[in-house]
Amino acid sequence: MSASSGQNGGTKPWGGRFSEATDPTVERFSASIHFDKVLARHDIRGSKAQARMLGRAGLISDTEAEELVGGLERVAEEIEDGTFPFDPALEDIHMNIESRLRTHLGAVAGKLHTGRSRNDQVATDLALFLRDVSLATQRGLLELRGVLLERARENVDTVLPGYTHLQRAQPVRLAHHWLAHIETLGRDAARFRDARARIVRCPLGAGAMAGSTLPLLREETAAELGFEAPTRNSMDTVASRDLALEYMADAAIAMVHLSRLAEELVLWSSSEFSFVELADAYSTGSSLMPQKKNPDVPEIVRGKSGRAIGNLVTLLTVLKGLPLTYNRDLQEDKEPLFDTVETLRDSLEVMAGAIATLDVRGERMAEAASDPMLLATDLAEFLVRAGVPFRDAHEVVGKIVGHVTREGLDLRSLSKNEMQGFHEAFDAGADDLLDLERSLESRALAGGTARVRVEANLEEIAGELAAERAEIERLEAEAAR
């Protein structure tokens, strides 16, 4: 690769087509090295596979292939130890690596790009990157769910109000509440697992958009890089970014779920709730008010969910008007993708830490759950068991609630006679009919908050997480080889 240069100092390191150098403002505008250096490890891996394939195909000698692989390993060491001289004038990580390889090896470095375009090179790097980060995200979701599982085990006997419309609704075990978030985050993990399962075809060898006249060994390169097969259509290969979109969509959903969990921590840590207290390590103070202890970590997670959603919309918007095949607009895929990966990774980590270390104020939760109004539905269902149609039972209990509310009475204070004044089927006073523990234990249907169901779910989920952990560790070991 010769480089043309002009008086403005710009360079075109990928060919001799141009007689005029790139304007420095264009270099700054189009450069991506400041963010796509994230792909360095994946680019080198793909390039090593490319070099070995060229040797096996007879397009370069075995000695040249070995030189290229050795030179790439030397470049990788420089990147790892921080001595690599990144040059913005070389535009992106791909050209930076190849230029550095030329410094080490001379002219033979120019043979590495035989039969390859930056289009299929970038697509390969992204596929390798997405495969790795999808697995890492599964790991992060697993760790958070593990923390929630441990907190649930600790709080089977902790009871608090469940809420609808942010109004006290019915009593539940805190373990049941934590398990609800585990279910949600488990579906998130499954989405990343499914997305990773679709990254099975290798882009390398698709060329700029139509393949190559050279006898490239695409199947062998795909196998070396851990793919099942090469991509089937060269045009789709370099034009599509739906794998990145899928990761970002899955991440946006996961961040929304983290935001909902974070919102509860913000509410629960307020003086009005006082259900939990975040550890000092996951809180901050006020610059003015010395008494404040602010739940900044969950607040930031809640805020960053908007960032992940915005990143997804950014890439959707970039892609929506592009014709086949490659267009330079596609460079705009990386910043939102990398930002989303980092945002989700960090959010999972800090939420796991915050939940693992928070103090549960069980007495305050129990006090809130002792509100007899939380058991009003139990009164309606008592009437149903006595043969009263539910709509009628609902109306009767509604009248009881309206009465005690207007009179400022405790629901439990109504005698048997007073209860029968609303409906003859009541056979006891409200205090005998309303029992918190009985209410919890009577909800023993699948998915309910009875102890037997909660404890069974704890064991079932523990087994699922153990199996998932073993699978992730197997895949991580494969990726490390």
**What residues contact 431, with CB distance under 8 A and at least 6 apart?**
412, 413
To the nearest 10°, the Cα dihedral for 333, 334, 340, 343? -160
DSSP labels, 345-369: HHHHHHHHHHHHHPEE-HHHHHHHH
Residue (of 154, 174, 176) closest to 452 by Cα position:
176
Active site residue 165: yes
Query: Are 162 and 172 in contact, with CB atoms under 8 Å apart?
Result: yes
Amino acid type, 433? L
- Active-site hit among 2, 19, 165, 271: 165
- Given the DSSP bridges, would you call strands 201-202 and 229-230 parallel, antiparallel or unpaired? parallel
- Active-site hit among 30, 61, 270, 286: 286
Alpha-carbon distances of 3 from 8, 153, 254, rounded to whole Å: 14, 64, 45
C-alpha span between 229 and 225 (Å, rounded): 10
Active site residue 134: no
Instruction: Give the distance, in angstroms, between the CA of residue 160 and the centroid of all CA atoms in the same chain.
Output: 29
- Given the DSSP bridges, would you call strands 4-5 and 11-12 parallel, antiparallel or unpaired? antiparallel
Helices (H), 358-450: 362-369, 376-385, 390-407, 416-422, 430-433, 436-441
Helices (H), 155-241: 174-197, 218-224, 234-239
Question: Which letter does DSSP use for residue 106 in this model?
Answer: G
Active site residues: 165, 286
